[in-house]
């Protein structure tokens, strides 16, 4: 068991190094550099800047310097936001993204999972059709449309919430709904299909034949088995939505991580792009590990030591 976790951590570490290296070299392949602008800088200044940020050295040396920093958790300085390190940017943007993402995750689990179970139990009823219709719409409508609609009705017409900002909890409602829209719809379909499948299993019939009440058949015998696809999806989803959505953060003018990330790509802000990618990867890998651990708790057939 312990051995398994050591192996997992080592492989996660190697994965992150590979991701960082790939991102580094891929960014080098893009023409231009951080200081290539429409208005040409004086040669002397550009030279000084390149020297300051080690951009005058061969790529392989730059790579060595960057990796050395990465190993000491130093993600380097941003090229564009002067005097600010990538670590600081993450520290500034992540809390906002994490609050919205965390709330969205809660909403997804509290609303999506029960909806899926209800529609499975009421399969082919009006409730089921309505829920599945809404879920299909939710999956297909992009978050910026949801965000715009929320702003138009709840902020514009009704005036219940402000159009932007995040200084009061009430203001988090809009972005939370916009971020969770897709995943609520997606998550609600997962327990529905897995529940329908599990309820047809022989062991459910055995439980019924042994006089177990319908409530327990559903919530003890079927539910635990139906949970696996939900956990498989929710784990990585948490990493994705807690690191911020560029679109939603833009629309609601939130200072989250998503904004920095997308801007860094257009600005050739190499260090920020790699830093954010590495941060997201670490988060993602941790969540996947949690999912694997959760599997072994739910299903004893899945063992952690092989």
Partner 1 sequence: MKKKILEVKNLKTSFFTHLGEVQAVRGVSFELNEGDILGIVGESGSGKSVTSLSIMNLIEHPGKIKEGEVLFYGKNYNEEIYSKIDLENPSEEDLKNIKLYGPIDLSKLSNSEMTEYRGNELAMIFQDPMTSLNPVYSIKNQMMEVIRRHTDMNKEEALERAKELLSMVGIPDPKGQINDYPHQFSGGMRQRALIATAISCNPRLLIADEPTTALDVTIQAQILELLKDLQSKTEMSIILITHDLGVIAEVSTHVVVMYGGMMMEKGTVEDIFYNPQHPYTQGLYRSIPKSTAKTKERLIPIEGSPPDLMAPPPGCPFSPRCPNAMKICLEEAAPLFKISDTHTSACWLMAEDAPVVKGFKKTKGAK
Stretch that binds partner 1, among 128-136, 201-209, 232-240, 269-277 (CB under 8 A): 201-209
- Residue appearing with tokens 């492989």: 11
**Closer of 68 and 303 to partner 1 (Cβ):** 303
We find the least distance from the C-beta atom of residue 4 to partner 1, in angstroms, to be 19
Number of residues engaging partner 1 in binding (CB under 8 A): 22
Residue with the two structure tokens 């920095």: 260
Asked if residue 125 binds partner 1 (CB under 8 A), the reply is no
Q: Which of residues 137-176 bind partner 1 (CB under 8 A)?
A: none
Cα 181 to Cα 175: distance, rounded to the nearest angstrom: 10
Q: Are 189 and 116 in contact (CB under 8 A)?
A: yes
Identify which of residues 7 and 208 has a Cβ nearer to partner 1 in the complex: 208
Among 152, 203, 219, 253, binds partner 1 (CB under 8 A): 203
CB of 224 to partner 1, least distance (A): 5
Binding mask 207-226 toward partner 1 (x if CB under 8 A, else -) reads xxxxxxxx-x---xx--xx-
Of 51 and 299, which CB lies nearer to partner 1 in the complex structure?
299
Fill in the per-residue mask, 224 to 263: x = in contact with partner 1 (CB under 8 A), - = not in contact: xx--------------------------------------
Cβ 289 to partner 1, closest distance in Å? 21
Min separation Cβ 125 and partner 1, Å: 12
Site string for partner 1, 266-305 (x = CB under 8 A): --------------------------------xxxx----
Q: Contact positions toward partner 1, by CB under 8 A? A: 201-203, 205-214, 216, 220-221, 224-225, 298-301
């Amino acid at each position: 068991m312990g051995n398994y976790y050591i192996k997992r951590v080592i492989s996660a570490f190697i994965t992150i190094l590979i991701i960082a290296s790939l991102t580094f070299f891929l960014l080098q392949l893009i023409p231009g550099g951080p200081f290539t602008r429409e208005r040409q800088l004086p040669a002397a200044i550009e030279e000084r800047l390149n020297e300051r940020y080690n951009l005058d050295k061969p790529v392989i040396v730059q790579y060595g310097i960057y990796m050395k920093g990465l190993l000491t958790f130093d993600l380097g300085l941003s090229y564009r936001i002067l005097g600010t390190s990538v670590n600081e940017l993450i520290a500034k943007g992540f809390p906002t993204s994490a609050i919205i993402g965390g709330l969205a995750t809660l909403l997804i689990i509290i609303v999506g999972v029960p909806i899926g179970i209800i529609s499975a139990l009421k399969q082919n009823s009006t409730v089921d059709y309505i829920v599945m219709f809404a879920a299909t719409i939710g999956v297909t409508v992009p978050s910026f449309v949801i965000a715009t609609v929320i702003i138009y009705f709840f902020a514009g017409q009704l005036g219940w919430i402000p159009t932007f900002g995040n200084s009061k909890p009430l203001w988090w409602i809009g972005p939370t709904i916009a971020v969770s829209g897709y995943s609520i719809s997606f998550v609600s379909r997962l327990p529905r299909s897995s529940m329908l499948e599990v309820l047809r299993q022989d062991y459910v019939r055995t439980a019924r034949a042994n006089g177990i009440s319908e409530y327990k058949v559903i919530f003890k015998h079927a539910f635990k088995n139906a949970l696996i696809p939900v956990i498989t999806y929710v784990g990585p989803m948490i990493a994705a939505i807690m690191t911020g959505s560029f679109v939603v953060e833009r629309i609601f003018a939130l200072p989250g991580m998503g904004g920095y990330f997308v801007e860094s790509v257009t600005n050739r802000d190499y260090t920020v792009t790699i830093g954010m990618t590495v941060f997201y990867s670490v988060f993602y890998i941790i969540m996947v590990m949690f999912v694997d651990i959760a599997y072994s708790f739910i299903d004893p057939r899945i063992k952690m030591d092989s």
